[in-house]
A and B are shown apart, each in its own frame.
Chain A
Amino acid sequence: MTNVNSNLEFLVEVQKLKEIPRTGLVWLGVPNPPSVADHTFRVAVSSWVLGKKMGLKIEKMIKTALSHDLCEVYGGDKTPFWGLLPDDEKKRKERLKRWIRLPLEEKKKRSEEEFEEEKKIFMKLLELANSELKKEIFSYWVDYKKNLTKEGKIFLQIDKMEGMLEALENLDQKDYDYVTPWWEEAEELITDSFLTLFYKVIQNKFYSPKAKIEEKIFGFGLKKELEKILDFILEIGKLKRMPRLYWVLRGVKNPETVAGHMFTLALMAWVFGREKRNLNQEKLLKMAICHEMSAVYTGDTTPYDRILPKDEDERRKILKKMIRLSKKEKEWIFLADYQTEKKAMEKLTQNLDSTIRKEILELWHEYRTRSSLEAKFLGELNILAVLLQGLIYEKKYKEFISAPLWEWAFESCTDEVCLSLMEEMKKKFYG
């Protein structure tokens, strides 16, 4: 399985995106800002939900989302302000209150320079992937960077909207002056009437919730529907700040978030799902980005958190081992979790359009009950996504032990692609 081998190297490098904070928010002094991976997760969800309303190709939208910031693995999160900001912090913050103003020639020059530089960095990363995957990822990135197709153009607009939402969510209203550049950029960029209305809903929500938007410009029921989509996107945003409990319990500093985990799984679904021609790729991607959405209300859970004793030494001992449960206990835990999570998923999607709601709920149910070929494959990949993260932490922190994760994987994985991936992980991390 040479494809699995080369693509593992690529996947490991991409995990660095979970530790690269969003630069714009760093500059604005936002404490512990979301990472590039967190951002990518939500922009993928937004592309799905909004893209569906706009009749776009969802597989393409999600793949564009997953590709669009990959070059930041080596280049860092570069904002459009590169090279234009003063070093002095006070002056820099002042400059961040307005969008870029430049002569046309300079804009063109910067854009070309940026493209060439990012392309170079991106190719370095893609050298780690096998040639077919490399071509595919690269073409989605080019589509986005060069605004080639309808999906590429709309994705760019949704990506910028996600950046604006991040700023609005993380800043106090008194600091909204710093959001002005996002608005100015949007006004140059948005051409789609549906997204124009969506921006109006954002404006209404954050700036003047009491002011009435003229219903006439929306058409029947659309305003309410867009408000509900925005609420959904904002709720999902909580996952960008929710650390995964498995790592928290084991003392990992600044661990991966639930959003970051879903980003990894979606990417794995793409990278390794390509090896499974009998599976529906779009379904795999969607399932990956919705499989843990219920955590918005349930919080992140692990089988350990309900059995851990208070005594520190005892806790440590238990956490170092794979949890042992009887068949009956496992069934009881599954049913209890399933019911709680189902309620959370129903609450989360309750105001969405019935078609997308049904789709999300069905995909989640399928995954949770492993009731389709896609769900079975993704379930195994999910274990390997956790194992991979564990191996990265094991390398980084001496005291972290990934043995229970190996045990879990050995117990659960049967798929040929997943078994090869496990072998490759063993070779990569233990030589």
Chain B
Amino acid sequence: MDKKFYITKEGLERLKKEYETLKALRLSKVEGESPKIFHSEDINIEYLAFKEDMELLESRLLELDYILKNYILITKPPKEKQDIVDIGATVTLEDEDGLINEFMLVGSLEANPSEGKISIESPVGRALLGKRVGDEVAITSPISVKYRIKKIKYEIS
């Protein structure tokens, strides 16, 4: 069975744009020209590596092609389920010292913990899934850290 990729609408747009750009790059490489996109000053820096390396470019294109055929768009759950933590939720937590911590739960493709976006496949993500406001969550390896869920929001389209 094919692996499925959870992705937000915003993330999907970004991947589609990357896919189109890399396809244009491949075509121009085959034709021996530098594509227009690389003449621009504000070129998206993430594509630079692919400019250097054809093998890297091909494997990224394959990866993107696979993702774009196997994605599941993250959408808001129905109103009656919005008090439960699911993918796409922004969860506000309070630790034992009263400090507030917040995460947005996304798929691994879009996870970036330094921005607060954590994957549902991470230990914290897994511990939060299915919980409701008031529930306690313990993250336990190797020292237990306890949180109480203060708020659950869905700020996705």
Whether A140 contacts B123 in the complex (CB less than 8 A), given A107-B114, A147-B112, A188-B118, comes out as no
Q: Check A107–B52 contact: CB distance below 8 A.
A: no
Residue A207 at the B interface, CB < 8 A? Answer: yes
Q: How far is the CB of B147 from chain A (nearest CB, A)?
A: 9
B116:A108 contact, CB within 8 angstroms: yes
- Say if the beta carbon of A190 comes within 8 Å of chain B: yes
**B20 interfacial by beta-carbon distance below 8 Å:** no
Those of A145-169 within 8 Å (CB) of chain B = 146-150, 153
* A103-B102, A188-B103, A189-B113 known; A139 vs B52 contact (CB < 8 Å): yes
Query: Are A139 and B48 in contact (CB-based, < 8 A)?
Result: yes
B46 in contact with A104 (CB, 8 Å): no
Instruction: Indicate if A116 sits at the interface (CB-CB under 8 A).
Output: no
- Shortest A62–chain B CB gap in Å is 14
Chain B, range 13-56, C-beta contacts under 8 Å to A: 45-49, 51-52, 56
What CA separation (Å) do A196 and B125 show in the bound complex? 13
With A184-B145, A187-B124 known to touch, is A80 a contact of B114 (CB < 8 Å)? yes
A residues within 8 A CB of B59?
Answer: 57
The reply to whether A177 and B143 form a contact with Cβ atoms under 8 Å apart is yes
Q: Does B142 interact with chain A (Cβ within 8 Å)?
A: yes
> In chain A, residues 294-337, which have Cβ atoms closer than 8 Å to a Cβ of chain B?
none
Q: Give Cα A203–Cα B143 distance, bound, in whole angstroms.
A: 10
Determine the distance from Cα of A114 to Cα of B103 in the docked complex, in whole angstroms. Answer: 19
A111 lies within 8 A of B123 (CB): no
Which residues of A95-116 have CB atoms within 8 Å of chain B's CB atoms? Answer: 98, 101-104, 107-108, 110-112, 114
Interface residues on B, range: 35 or more
A208 to B143 Cα, complex, angstroms: 12
Q: How far is the CA of A190 from the CA of B139 in the complex (A)?
A: 13
Contacts of B45 in A (CB 8 A): 138-139, 142
A177 neighbours in B (Cβ, 8 Å): 143
Please, how many angstroms separate the alpha-carbon atoms of A185 and B47 in the complex?
A: 28
Q: Which residues of A contact B56 (CB under 8 A)?
A: 57, 60
**A57 / chain B contacts, CB cutoff of 8 Å:** 56, 59
A132 contacts across to B, CB distance below 8 A: 52
> Using an 8 Å CB-CB cutoff, how does the interface string of B98-124 with A read, 1 for contact, 0 for none?
011111100010011111101101111
Q: Do residues A102 and B101 form an inter-chain contact, with CB atoms below 8 A?
A: yes
Least CB distance from A263 to B in Å reads: 22
Asked if A108 and B115 make an inter-chain contact with CB atoms under 8 angstroms apart, the answer reads: yes
Task: Say yes or no for A346: interface residue by CB 8 A criterion.
Answer: no
How far apart sit A163 and B27, CA to CA, in the bound complex (Å)? 42
Per-residue B-contact encoding for A187-224, CB less than 8 Å = 1, 0 else: 11111000010011001000110000000000000000
Q: What are 10 A-B pairs with beta-carbon distances under 8 A?
A: A103-B100, A111-B114, A111-B115, A143-B49, A148-B46, A188-B125, A189-B113, A191-B121, A200-B141, A208-B142
Residues of B within 8 A of A (CB): 45-49, 51-52, 56, 59-60, 63, 90, 92-93, 95, 99-104, 108, 111-116, 118-119, 121-125, 139, 141-143, 145
Those 5 A-B pairs whose CB atoms lie nearest each other, nearest first: A107-B116, A101-B101, A139-B49, A139-B48, A104-B102
